[in-house]
Structure 1
Amino acid sequence: MLETVAQAVINGLLIGGIYALVSIGVTLIFGVVKIVNFAQGEFVMIGMYISYFLATYFGVDPLLSLLVSMPTLFLIGVLVQHFLIRRVLGPNDMPQIFLTFALSLLLLNLALLLFTANYRTVHTSYSDEALHFGGLYIPEAKLIAFVVAMALSGALWAFLHTTDLGKAMRAAAQNRDVATLMGINSNRVFCVAFGAALALAGAAGSLLMPFYSAYPFVGQVFVLMAFVAVVLGTLGNVLGALVASVMMGIAESLGIQFVGADSGLIVVFAMLLLTLAFKPQGLGGGRMR
């Protein structure tokens, strides 16, 4: 019994790292730009397709394709912020919601048109390998994805806390008007924030390819979990989103193991409801970062 629980926790911890990349991107955009990006999952899907085509036609390992997917998604994020999001920023949230939702539908239907609904996979030398410790096993592909995801999360934290641009982003997140008065270029900060968030989504897509299939609707699975994570961890709190994502991965894995194969999301949403009932401000204590 103890071994079964330990294995479920390991599996949940590993997938929680991927959830973290997506949810950190969502909460970063909300914290700095103050909008909810409903299209974040579709950018994960784009990252997966980039890795798939690089592996299929050029033999590039999905891990190496991070060097392509992250800069590509960063550039897309900068363009989306500068030419679309910037035009709907204001006190009214509805245009922002409709814009990102429309962008999600556009990307989803473009993927269906270009790639069809077929599932596409990439098999690597480590896709089926696992490390064994007693009766426990750790899939190498998921372990690598978790380590890289945590490294990218740590790099983002260091960027936000040690660089001038990162500090400017945190200042804009706390008070946009005061940051502007202090000479911070808000549009530049917003472009970098949106680009960084989409770069994390692209990284998540590349890290998923060795053990997950790419298809047009794949992003909806991860953006749903990301929204739960950012609510649990407090909207705008990067560290809270990271912790909540790992907790959700473990809760989902335990639910699948002990409740049923289709019960993982039930356990996650039950955890969300309990958190909102007893601590509605979220695990992060309600502080906006």
Structure 2
Amino acid sequence: MTDPTSTATAPAPEAPPDRGTQRRTSEVAVPLGVMAAVVVALVLVYAVGQRATDLVTQSIVTGLLLGGVYALVSVGLTLIFGVLGIVNFAQGAMLTMAMFLVYEMTTSGGLPVYVATLLAVPIMFLFGVVVQAALLNKLTLAGSHEGPLLVTLGLSLLIINVLLMIFGGRPLRVPGSVDGSVEVFGAVASYERLIAFGGALLVAVALLLLLRRTSFGMSIRAVSANAEGASLVGVDVRRIYALTFGIGAACVAVAGGLMAPFLSLTPTVGEQFTILAFVIVVLGGLGSVTGALLGGLVIGLVQTVGALYFPGTGSLILVFAVFVLVLFFRPQGILGAPQ
């Protein structure tokens, strides 16, 4: 029989684990694990891949430079999805639209390509704001999922066909402003691709700082987490939705201007980036800007290094194989929150 006057106390229950600490640890450990896996894979390619070392190095450098631009296209897409919950099927068409804006300003206006890119950014931002405010806000606020999909798909078709009517289907070229190349670890990288990579990283970092260090970024994150709750504390949800879609359009404007000097322009050129952007967004984690950046670099490397062994469309098959493999072990993506 237990003595009720006994002073012995039961052991204190263990404190529950700090979920915030666990999440921060995961946010660091998972990207490091992904990068370690990529490094190991590249070492194996060098060691037993039976390809010339200089050819592998060139593929790695090209893949990193290409992946940076992929990431910038995907950052706008993941931001729109994270805040509005919209899968923007017009992202590739908007990228094409930005490229043709730059083309017009460089050929008809005589502007340097990077000056034209700076001018295209506010134009595309305003275009995105108008599209969201005029076509999507009502559907988004009503909680419709099918409506925005159909609207963005229709917008994509409209943009492509208008560009076809104006410019035709013949491939066009944007005159470059910078010639020459530099040697990077024995590989050759053109200045235009280096500028594109550097510009993509700068925009991605600026976007992260905007989201994490400003009151406007806090409003965006609040709406992303709970639009109704954000509205109750005074956040103008309609305004945040419109500005977020505008920022997503501005991101593709930067990407389009940076890529225009080394791509052939056709009204459907952006469509080749649409599927890859979706793959990168899901791979990096839906709504994660950092995940989109990391996913873009990984996909760029897989595509270019994989092309050494699977030329043509074979490298895309490898991209989707890696995509499925990652999601098999981590369904939420590299930096996505567990569901």
TM-score, structure 1 length as denominator? 0.96
| Stretches of structure 2 lacking an aligned partner (at least 5 in a row) | 1-51
User: How far apart in 2 are the matches of 1:100 and 1:141?
Assistant: 31
The number of residues matched between the two structures is 287
Instruction: After TM superposition, give the deviation of residue 122 of structure 1 in Å.
Output: 1.8
For residues 153-195 of structure 1, give each alpha carbon's deviation from its aligned partner in whole angstroms, at most 9, with x where no partner exists.
Answer: 1111111111111110011101111111111000111111000
Q: Are residues 1:150 and 2:150 paired?
A: no
Cross-structure match for 1:239: 290
Q: Secondary structure at the match of 2:182?
A: strand
Moved more, 14-23 or 130-139: 130-139
Q: SS of the counterpart of 2:115?
A: coil
Cα distance in 2 for residues equivalent to 1:206 and 1:275 = 31
CA drift at 1:4: 2.1
Give the corresponding residue for 1:250.
Answer: 301
Asked if 2 retains the 8 angstrom alpha-carbon contact of 1:234 and 1:287, the reply is no
In the TM superposition, residue 140 of structure 1 has moved relative to its aligned partner by 1.0
Distance 1:133 1:181, change over 3 A: closer
Q: Which residue is 1:82 aligned to?
A: 133
* CA radius of gyration, larger in: 2
Could you tell me how far apart the structure 1 residues matched to 2:336 and 2:293 are? 14
- Residue aligning to 1:272: 323
Instruction: Tell me which amino acid in the other structure corresponds to 2:205.
Output: G
Give yes or no for contact 2:106–2:175 (8 Å, CA) kept in 1.
Answer: no
User: 2:62 pairs with 11, 32, 47, which one?
Assistant: 11
Distance (whole Å) between structure 2 residues aligned to residue 243 and residue 175 of structure 1: 26
CA shift for structure 1 position 91: 2.9
Give the aligned residue type for 2:158.
L
1:103 and 2:155 are equivalent in the alignment: yes
**Corresponding residue for residue 115 of structure 1:** 167
- Aligned equivalent of 1:52: 103
Secondary structure of the 1:131 match is strand
> Which one of 258, 263, 270 corresponds to residue 314 of structure 2?
263
- CA offsets per residue over residues 44-98 of structure 1, 9 Å max, x none? 1011001111111122121111221100000001100100011211333111111
Equivalent residue letter for 2:98: G
Aligned partner of 2:8 in structure 1 is: none
State the secondary structure of the residue aligned to 1:111: helix
Is contact 2:137–2:242 with CA below 8 Å preserved after alignment? Answer: no
Deviation at 1:257, TM superposition (A): 2.1
Which residue of the partner structure matches residue 92 of structure 2? 41
Distance in 2 (alpha carbons) for counterparts of 1:135 and 1:94: 50
- SS at 2:311's partner residue? coil
After TM superposition, the structure 1 = structure 2 runs for residues 132-151 of structure 1, keeping only pairs within 5 Å, are: 132-133=183-184, 135-151=186-202
Q: Which residue of 2 aligns with 1:284?
A: 335
- Matching residue within 116, 139, 142 for 1:65: 116
Q: 1 CA distance for matches of 2:77 and 2:322?
A: 20
Alignment check: 8 A CA contact 2:287 2:336 kept? no
Contact 2:112–2:177 (CA under 8 A) maintained in structure 1: no
Partner of 1:138, secondary structure, is strand
Write the mapping of 1:145-224 to structure 2, written as runs, cut at 5 A. 145-224=196-275
Identity, in percent, stands at 37
The answer to whether the 8 A contact 2:286-2:336 is kept is: no
Any conservation in 1 of the 2:116–2:257 contact (CA below 8 Å)? yes
1:80–1:135 Cα change, 3 Å: same
Aligned-partner SS, 1:203: helix
Q: Does structure 2 retain, via aligned residues, the 8 Å contact 1:44–1:219?
A: yes
Q: What's the counterpart of residue 92 of structure 1? A: 144
Larger RCO, structures 1/2 (Cα 8 Å, 6+ apart): 1
- 2:151 maps to amino acid: L
3-state DSSP of counterpart to 2:183: strand
Cα distance between partner residues in 2 of 1:107 and 1:283? 33
Residue of structure 1 in register with 2:182 after alignment: 131
Within 2, Cα distance between the matches of 1:16 and 1:237? 16
Of the structure 1 ranges 106-115 and 133-142, higher mean CA displacement relative to structure 2 is found in 133-142
